[in-house]
Structure 1
Amino acid sequence: MNLNNNELESIPKELCSLQKLSELHLSHNCLITIPEEIGYMTNLRMLCLSRNQIGVLPDGLCKLRKLRILDVAGNKIQIFPIAMEDLMLMELYCEDNPLLQKQPVSAIQEEEVWSLKEIAARLIFSQSAKEDSILHTAVKQNLEACNILSKKQECAQCGQGFLNIWLECVRFVNVRQKMKISRNVHLLPVRTLLCSYKCFNHPGHGFFGIAVP
């Protein structure tokens, strides 16, 4: 499907229900966001989003396991989704984006005070593997609790679950051996979440905090 050069400002979610579509061309429009539902288009092999105003790619994009060519050149992308490496891409075009660079600077570490909701959620996540625990049984019987806990995120360092408070980081991935990529891009910045500064300060990992101007 070719929708290039149409001054589109958004994509209707209904478009993402076209599960048999193998190519989608949306270049040279005015798109700012891509719907999370893009992940439903499981037969896409080529997705062209170049020359738009896209700032963030949705996590749903990483569900497109048949995608082989992704063109997001000429947008406003700084960082790629957490599961970007799950894609089996053969070609990735991402030039002319303000991608984060690997330029470490010193920063002040300020731990955020956890809410009671966050404390309770982390306790439940830590006990969730024990199916015979009282907490596990109680949560299964509470629909509201299940809905809240379904938003669980996982720390890339320790593997523990958390809810709403995290440290947003970036890791730089060399994907040149896996796929054809824009010449001027040497390392791909991929979003990473850590549960605390304790994990961030653990030696040996390749995560960098994101500096906010």
Structure 2
Amino acid sequence: YCLALLAELNLGNNALKEVPTVLGHLESLRKLYLFSNRITVVPPDVIGGLQNLVVLNLNHNQIQRLPPEIKRYIYGIVVSKILQHLSMMDNKLEEVPAELGHLTKLSEINLTSNKLSWLPQQLYQCKDLTKVHVARNKLTSLPELTFKHTLQNLTTFHVTQGIRALTKLQVVDVAGNKLSMFPVEFHLLSLKELYCEGNRFVHCEPMPSEQDAEVFSLKVIVMEVQQTQQDLLNHLLCKLSIIVYLSSGSCCALCLGPFLTTWLECVHFISLRKDMKMKSSLTIPVRALLCSYKCFNTDGHPYYGVATR
């Protein structure tokens, strides 16, 4: 009871192997520092009692995973409405649960020096994010746009989520990963700082390419199926979860039309100084999606096909 009003607690630089269960009773706690210990597990029951937690620092531990149950104590009436700073630098994280997207007030996240090979697309639901630090991981890509459609009109797609949703984002640190390019619309962010050295970015080295394949738009595919195999289409809708299949669709950067697959992966090169109004003189590759060679062969666009050697 004597610690009921405690607002800040620093238990860093100890030899703790677990988070003390008594912490779950400190309902007034706003800042909790557990860095430089030997903690391997984040117990949802303990953290769940910290209804006013704003800062959680678990740097320099041995944590391998965040529990999916994170949504249980951050959603609704508990931490989700106030937790702003989450730092788990230098742990052993191999993945981040999709439930992270419930941290709707999160403004800074630091997952530097872990073992992450991917990030959940739900991270883009944290629209208050200003700083994202994921340096020195194993990321090969950042989450791309996702699309939704309606069964009433299979040719209609709507962009639902992408990195552009993070309108408050100012700092991105992805240095020391395995990225080949940045996701679609990355160049539309209003960043102030970008750290991206030590990746495997594609280079602009133009070379001839053979153009012997054509990708039909999703609209053409659906029209043909409707004309010749309407019964089969209805069967697929019911039995083969075509919703999931179509959700991988995209929109063409040039004609803006929806399509299901892309034969040619494209990229355009963005000057941080000229195009994103940053101080850096770097040029970065940003992924672009084109539906077909009909669009790709249009004169005047800045997109290149991506080739592997």
- Partner Cα distance (1:123, 1:13) in 2: 37
Please state whether the residue corresponding to 1:199 is helix, strand or coil.
Answer: helix
Question: Which of 195, 202, 205 is equivalent to 2:298?
Answer: 202
Q: How does 1:54-203 map to 2 (within 5 A)?
A: 54-59=139-144, 60-112=162-214, 114=216, 119-121=220-222, 152-177=249-274, 178-181=277-280, 186-203=282-299
Q: Which has the higher contact order (CA 8 A, sep 6+)?
A: 1
- Partner Cα distance (1:20, 1:3) in 2: 17
Q: Who wins on radius of gyration, i.e. which is larger?
A: 2
Structure 1 match to 2:118: 33
| CA-CA distance at 1:169 after TM superposition | 0.4
Distance 1:26 1:113, change over 3 A: closer
Distance 1:162 1:27, change over 3 A: same
| CA-CA distance at 1:152 after TM superposition | 4.4
Q: Percent identity?
A: 41
Distance 1:91 1:200, change over 3 A: same
| CA-CA distance at 1:158 after TM superposition | 2.2
Structure 1 match to 2:29: none
Q: Residues 127 and 168 of structure 2 are in contact (CA less than 8 Å); yes or no, is this contact kept in structure 1?
A: yes
Q: Residues 122 and 162 of structure 1 are in contact (CA less than 8 Å); yes or no, is this contact kept in structure 2?
A: no
TM-score (norm 2): 0.56
Q: Deviations over 1:59-82 (max 9, x none)?
A: 233321111000000000011111
Alignment root-mean-square deviation, CA: 2.7
Structure 2 match to 1:133: none
Structure 1 unaligned segments of length 5 or more: list them.
125-141
1:176 maps to a residue whose letter is R
Q: Residues 214 and 293 of structure 2 are in contact (CA less than 8 Å); yes or no, is this contact kept in structure 1?
A: no
Q: Residues 122 and 161 of structure 1 are in contact (CA less than 8 Å); yes or no, is this contact kept in structure 2?
A: no
Count of matched residue positions in the alignment of Structure 1 and Structure 2: 193
Structure 2 unaligned segments of length 5 or more: list them.
1-85, 145-161, 226-236
Please state whether the residue corresponding to 1:62 is helix, strand or coil.
Answer: helix
